Structure 1
Amino acid sequence: MDAEGVPGAVGTGSDAPGSGEDAPDRPQRPARRRPNRWKVLFVGLFVAGVLGTATWVLLGSRLLVVRRIDVTGERLVSREEVLAAARVHLGEPLARLDTGVVRDRVEAVQAVETARVERRWPTTVHIVVRERTPIVVAQHDNRYLQIDRYGVTVVASAARPRGLPVLDVANPTQSDPALRTGLSVVRALPSWLGRQVVGVDVPSTEAVSLRLADGVTVVWGAAERGPEKLRLLRGLLDRSPRGVRTIDVSSPEVVTTR
């Protein structure tokens, strides 16, 4: 009997499930879309145009150039001295300005301790000057040299400036050991004593003396052991009888007055 006449008979060959044309279709990957060449070209040209325009605005146009130079903090030096040292030219593209180079030029001015240079868009350069602060004055070759804490001569003048103690050393130059010792003593003085000092004598690095406004001389000695000397000196100044002209704290173990 043929298989077709048997109820429930299973077909074979090409009629079997999962074979031939009756097999389920497999999912197919979508075809890759090729990039639109014109779109890529357009985007590239657009980006190049934007970059070119920005470069032209920053470096080539007259829109973002130096039109104003502000200087602040100057007192001992003039604005003209700062500008001459900075060498920033009006009309120069602001983006091309090397602020580090300008800062170094300004700091080369003797009276300038530090400087800061800033771009202030769209057209301004701002120079902030911090000048050196003299703490003593020394006489040399009929000139009065105002010297800062580092031993740098800030200003030289024919007249003695007021408000600064006179530092008496043989060679008031930055390399002189006696000058450096005298400056280290002056820097360490508290305000209650510093405002009384009118003179500092340093014949050698081991023999510093302070001259006070009331005529008292303090023999300080070497720069070392400053805190001990200050503590002893304050007590002696408060308790010393009238007529004491010299207080010797050069050796804190043996303090003398006369």
Structure 2
Amino acid sequence: MAEPTTARRGAEKLSPGSPYRQGEPDSGRPRPVRRGRGFLRRLRSVRFSPPRLRRPSRRTVIFVLLAVALLGAAGVYVLYGSAWARVEKVHASGTRVLTPRQVVEAAGVPRNAPLISVDTEVVAARVREKLPRVATAEVVRVWPNEIGLKVTERKPEVLLKKGGKFIEVDAHGVRFATLDRAHRGVPILELDADQSPSMRRFGAARLEREGVRVSAGLPSVIRQDTLVVRVRSYDSITLDLTGGRTVMWGSSERGGAKARTLLALMKTERDADHFDVSAPSAPALTGS
């Protein structure tokens, strides 16, 4: 076969599909045509569509609904109908003066009732109502068949003497129990402010709360020696201690500073029998 002439090879270089490039020396071998741009154009023209989901058949839908209904019915039966999740035990904790049995009886949780049907808030309210000594009550379900009652009892801060009886009062001024005899270590609150202008201005309830506030803020070492908290007016509260000692406390304000000052005086002045800490930065004492 005859070789192409020089003119023919030149014409092939100028043609669009020629494997040769203009301006490059002719090596005598054809070069491949670059097809990158054409491939990208074809790739862009391809449309991708997400796979189409098949609708479940009617039989499948009915089967799923029946399964859900059966599971729900089984759950309801286990919680309400079976003997597995019914109240068999009720126990109480946190008692100090009360007994666990008193708390359980006040709760009134019906035995053999479905555990899920016990209204815990109603039971807690019933315990607080029947036992005023209880400050807080928490009721929990203990699966599969128990109810737990956890109570916190009120702590008496003072005693009010009335008709030969003693009424316990907590730090919030709540009267919660009546005793035949006074507790040791709990001071008696005496309100002696009938002729004081404070009685007309604040009233007996407010003055009583101020005395309770003073007693509740006393350090344990002073509280155990305090026999009487005497309220004569809003800013005239005194403490009667063992050994015939007295403390002029003043009002209930700045209780922490007054307590620290009194402790320091009692440690350094052991022979003193009257302390005045109504102005804690300038205390006074007598009998030393």
Same fold, TM exceeding 0.5? yes
Matches within 5 A, 1:35-46: 35-46=56-67
The residue aligned with 2:70 is 49
Superposition TM-score, scaled by structure 1 size: 0.78
The residue aligned with 2:122 is 101
User: Is 1:245 aligned with 2:278?
Assistant: no
Displacement after TM superposition at 1:31 (Å) = 8.5
Cα deviation per residue 1:160-206 (whole Å; 9 max; x = unaligned)?
Answer: 222212222269xxx71222111111122223322322221112222
Equivalent of 1:198 in 227, 232, 235:
227
Q: 2-side partners of 1:143 and 1:238: how far apart?
A: 35
Displacement after TM superposition at 1:141 (Å) = 1.5
Displacement after TM superposition at 1:107 (Å) = 2.2
Q: Structure 1's 235 and 63: CA in aligned 2 closer, same or farther, altered over 3 A?
A: closer
Q: Decide which structure has greater helix share.
A: 2
**Residue aligned with 1:199, SS:** strand
Matches within 5 A, 1:1-258: 33=54, 35-108=56-129, 109-169=131-191, 176-240=205-269, 242=271, 244-252=272-280, 253=282, 255-258=284-287
The residue aligned with 1:22 is none
| Structure of higher CA gyration radius | 2
Q: 2-side partners of 1:80 and 1:228: how far apart?
A: 43
Cα deviation per residue 1:26-76 (whole Å; 9 max; x = unaligned)?
Answer: 999998755332232222211111111111111222221111111112232
Cα deviation per residue 1:123-149 (whole Å; 9 max; x = unaligned)?
Answer: 000001111111222211210112211
Residue 159 of structure 1 aligns with an amino acid whose one-letter code is R
Residue 141 of structure 1 aligns with an amino acid whose one-letter code is G
The residue aligned with 2:14 is none
How well do the aligned residues superpose, as a CA RMSD in angstroms? 2.8
Q: 2-side partners of 1:181 and 1:205: how far apart?
A: 7
**Residue aligned with 1:53, SS:** helix
Displacement after TM superposition at 1:113 (Å) = 0.6
Q: Structure 1's 49 and 187: CA in aligned 2 closer, same or farther, altered over 3 A?
A: same
Residue 58 of structure 1 aligns with an amino acid whose one-letter code is L
Bigger Cα displacement from structure 2, 215-224 vs 190-199: 190-199
Kindly indicate whether the alpha-carbon contact (under 8 Å) linking 2:186 and 2:224 is maintained by their aligned counterparts in 1: no
**Residue aligned with 2:84, SS:** coil
**Residue aligned with 1:214, SS:** helix
Q: Structure 1's 72 and 60: CA in aligned 2 closer, same or farther, altered over 3 A?
A: same
Q: 2-side partners of 1:95 and 1:130: how far apart?
A: 25
The residue aligned with 1:10 is none
Please, which runs of 5 or more residues in structure 1 have no aligned partner? 1-25
Please, which runs of 5 or more residues in structure 2 have no aligned partner? 1-46, 194-203
Identity fraction in percent: 34
Superposition TM-score, scaled by structure 2 size: 0.70
Aligned pairs, number: 229
